[in-house]
Structure 1
């Protein structure tokens, strides 16, 4: 993998995700918890603070990326410096749309975000979701080669077909993506504000910006204190979420070729988390923050939603583990060719499947936890996160020395298990209204018929890989399809309540459309 490719896939993507999360997440969580209409003006003023915070954070991180971390080869130094500053500027530009993004989420206008995802080019939607394509190699199909990634590139040692002076400027998100996000949100909200059906807490375009209200402070002290608690929590959470990339970048625990391979497999393995889990988690946090008052008992409706979410997400994670072990080699072979399956990529992807299961469970538990925690509980959780960070760093050092790149994923699994344990304890101790008939945490326990179907499907898929693959990949896929169909049938038979909830949600969507 060339230096330019690695900077695009790792360095600038890490800069973007870090600056965006640290600058925005605390304000978003605090503002989404506002339920009183009289405090919406102060909440909007609070969210606008994210813009100067974003400028300060982006500038500080850009300086860190340019002066504290190891620098690239001299021939790409000038492009690297420009790419860092362009990435920082894009973060600030996108942060300017955050007041509208948060307002849309609070008002449950999910179509705004969907419109951005539909209109923006696919390679601009996520800084890590689409590695740069590679040139066609000899002896392979055009389809298979067109989706090869940076990991196969590092193994083949071929140049990336992007001019170096342009490649770095195509970093995590380009100017088109950032400008598109801002234009969509501002244009849609201005149109809605002027429409007769406006139900937003702002009645004119001038109210979208920060402003003073006579007789009221510009900012609410409770909101500020909650934001500060979330900000400290966000720093620790970002360290735990992207910890392996920070360690790889700062301490070179893996060489550049191994880093490229790890980056490709981690992105491929976490595709389900980005496509399925992230939207569910975002909407779940909005739901719990709007329906459960901090410090109050959980209602029957909220408890049932938590139970169903845990059941659905854990089932998806178990499916990933069941089929991931036996079909990792085939998936990598289709994705990157024989070169990608020759190294440790298969073991990395199998371990990543187990990590996906933990991601599915932890995402829902953390959404509920952060939505209902009081400020003093958040501060206590932050202190626990410091201990979790120490455990993560120690486990990373130990597992990396023992297992190489797989050690990073195992350390992530340890990190996620500790976070699940903390959130599980908190949710288990929440007071429930008397109408709650089923404990929400029982959603983590699959029903016997589904568990039996998962075990049977896993064994059949493993046997198919041993006996049919790779001599007959089509037969191996057919066995997986039959096992998947049987698993779906078992889930539909055993989970009529969950199926009914899905039908109601789909029917509601069709009626609205």
Structure 2
């Protein structure tokens, strides 16, 4: 079963990465089309204010429930777990109403020509979050039973329809861009909810052995149970909520500071957010699906608070290998982004938004983001592991540490942004990530202390790939100074050659890793079978 779990988790990572690449390509192309038509004020309103409202509502109402209900799914009492996950709906309604009024009555009003669109956008975003919370039960089942293809298909449909609605509306009427954004959000949310329920309605028409759900009614809450909810998971949800509330504050801290304090105007927020979306693109493409799948995998194998020496040795051997290589790959990826990002930030901004975006300010911001990627790479894996294996007492200690860190982060963000503008947010993020990494590494060191496994060595990349990236950094910097103004294509081709060289070096140095991946995904067997045929 554990081998099947690891294979499915690796498959889930692969699907997640492919999905993120497709989604980001679609988003990149659509944004490149509309950036020249939308005013910076409208851009700041949509990408900062409204998306911050959405992420806050969804986080408070569901994120801790999602994490806790994925703990040890093999032993779930599913009716109680389904009841627990449905608590997200009333929480979502309450939070949506409260934050909707906060966003409208307590934050700085947008320009007059955007005021009516802003009001509509706030309530459509709140209603969309409430509707989305109604599909938490089928989404939990899809995650727990590894319906990986379903999740990919529905997310693609969600993003695709949202883009197909938003793009033509904006191009036809740029002055109503916030209305277009709201309409696209509503269509995408309805598609996602109907997609999950529609799939499982069809799936459950045929009985499936070992699947604990018999009809779509089983996804709805039941009130005829002796015990209404799963109490241990409810307490775990509360513990995780405190941890993740701080994480949300740290992750979205710059947006909260921008929105509440007003240190940047809506126009400046629009420019910063555009560059930020590009700078954090690698994190969304790779790190998030890897982090989610690793959390699910580790949560099934570890028992909270127990030393690895007391757990199944075969399971721990497999888990330590995955942790080692996950950290090795993400660190190398972060270093790669740093090595090439410095020389290609200006070119990417030029291709994305034209000369108006590829200014010195935008280039400096994007180069700084490339440094943040390395911190994000390490933090994602270490936090996912820590949250899946910490005891309740350790989670409480971690919560306390994160609260102190949040306060320090917000103060530092405000101070640095006041002095340095948007660059201050990025520098504050680096400090924030470095501290969070230290907290997680402390837990991991104590957990593995005295055991024969040393997954923390995965943080040290091999000497060959480090040398290859250092050489690539020097070559591409020289190429930018020589060719960027006169021949951007030559500069791009030089970077492509250096990139292929670095990938080849990594493949050569990490042969064992790729053999393991091929074996777990069955690629080597399929290849051998095709060769025999």
TM bracket, shorter-chain basis: 0.7 to 0.9
Q: How does 1:213-252 map to 2 (within 5 A)?
A: 214=225, 216-252=226-262
5 Å-filtered alignment, 1:86-101, equals 86-101=124-139
Which residue does 2:160 correspond to in 1?
122
Q: Verify the 8 A CA contact 2:40 2:271 in the aligned structure 1.
A: no
**Alignment-derived partner of residue 27 in structure 1:** 65
Distance 1:289 1:433 in 2: 22
Tell me, yes or no, if structure 1 residue 331 matches structure 2 residue 348: yes
What corresponds to 1:6 in structure 2?
44
Partner of residue 448, structure 1: 463
Q: Distance in 2 between matches of 1:460 and 1:472?
A: 16
Is residue 162 from structure 1 mapped to residue 174 from structure 2 by the alignment? yes
The reply to whether residue 481 of structure 1 matches residue 496 of structure 2 is yes
What is the alpha-carbon distance in structure 2 between the residues aligned to residue 121 and residue 43 of structure 1?
A: 29
Shift of 1:212: 4.3
Partner of 2:278: 268
| Deviation by residue 1:265-297 (Cα, 9 ceiling, x = unmatched) | 000111122222211111111111122221234
Q: Is residue 2:322 matched to residue 1:305?
A: yes
Q: 2:175 & 2:188 partners in 1: Cα distance?
A: 20
- Helix, strand or coil for the counterpart of 1:174? helix
Whether 1:81 aligns to 2:119 is yes
Measured in 2, the distance between the counterparts of 1:73 and 1:250 equals 16
Distance in 1 (CA, whole Å) between partners of 2:148 and 2:475 is 40
Q: What TM-score do you get using the length of structure 1 for normalisation?
A: 0.88
Partner of 2:265: 255
Cα separation, partners in 2 of 1:479 and 1:360, compared to 1, 3 Å: same
Contact 2:65 2:85 in 1 (8 A): yes
Tell whether the 8 Å contact from 1:13 to 1:172 is kept in structure 2 after alignment. Answer: no
Shift of the alpha carbon at 1:425? 0.9
Larger mean Cα displacement after TM superposition, 173-182 or 496-505 = 496-505
1:391 matched to 2:413: no
Listed one character per residue, the Cα deviations across residues 307-349 of structure 1 (whole Å, up to 9, x for unaligned) are 1111111111111111000111111111111121124000000
- In 2, the alpha carbon distance for the partners of 1:296 and 1:303 equals 15
Determine if contact 1:125/1:173 at 8 Å carries over to the other structure: yes
1: distance between equivalents of 2:235 and 2:156? 36
Cα offset, 1:134, TM superposition: 8.1
Determine if the alignment matches structure 1 residue 109 to structure 2 residue 147: yes
Which residue does the alignment assign to 1:151? Answer: none
1:205 pairs with 185, 210, 216, which one?
A: 216
Note the C-alpha offset of 1:406: 0.8
Q: Cα–Cα, structure 1 residues 395 and 387, in superposed 2: closer, same or farther, change >3 Å?
A: same
Distance 1:212 1:134, change over 3 A: closer
Report the counterpart of residue 148 of structure 1 in structure 2.
Answer: none
> 1:485 & 1:6 partners in 2: Cα distance?
37
How far 1:359 moved relative to its partner? 1.1
What displacement does 1:186 show?
0.8
SS of the aligned residue for 2:77 comes to: helix
| Unpaired segments ≥5 residues, structure 1 | 136-159
Query: Hey, what does 1:176 align to over in structure 2?
Result: 187
- Distance, in Å, in 1 between the alignment partners of 2:415 and 2:291 is 31
1:233-283: CA deviation from partner (whole Å, max 9, x where unpaired): 222211111111111111111223221110100001111222222111111
1:378 Cα offset (Å): 1.3
What corresponds to 2:428 in structure 1? 411
Q: Is the 8 A contact 1:16 1:88 kept in 2?
A: yes
Deviations 1:462-505 (A, max 9, x none): 11112232222122112211211111111111101222233235
Q: In the alignment, which of 45, 60, 75 is matched to residue 37 of structure 1?
A: 75
Structure 2 SS opposite 1:194: coil
2 CA distance for matches of 1:6 and 1:221?
A: 42
Q: Structure 2, unaligned stretches of length 5 or more? A: 1-38, 309-315, 527-533
Contact 1:313 1:361 in 2 (8 A): yes
Cα RMSD after superposing both structures:
2.5
CA deviation profile, 1:414-462 (whole Å, cap 9, x unmatched): 111111111111111114795x54x111111101111111111111111
CA 467–410 in structure 1, closer or farther in 2 if over 3 Å, else same: same
Under a length normalisation based on structure 2, what TM-score does the superposition of the two structures give? 0.85
Say yes or no: does 1:320 pair with 2:337.
yes
Provide the aligned length of Structure 1 versus Structure 2: 480
Instruction: Give the secondary-structure state (helix, strand or coil) at the position aligned to 1:478.
Output: helix
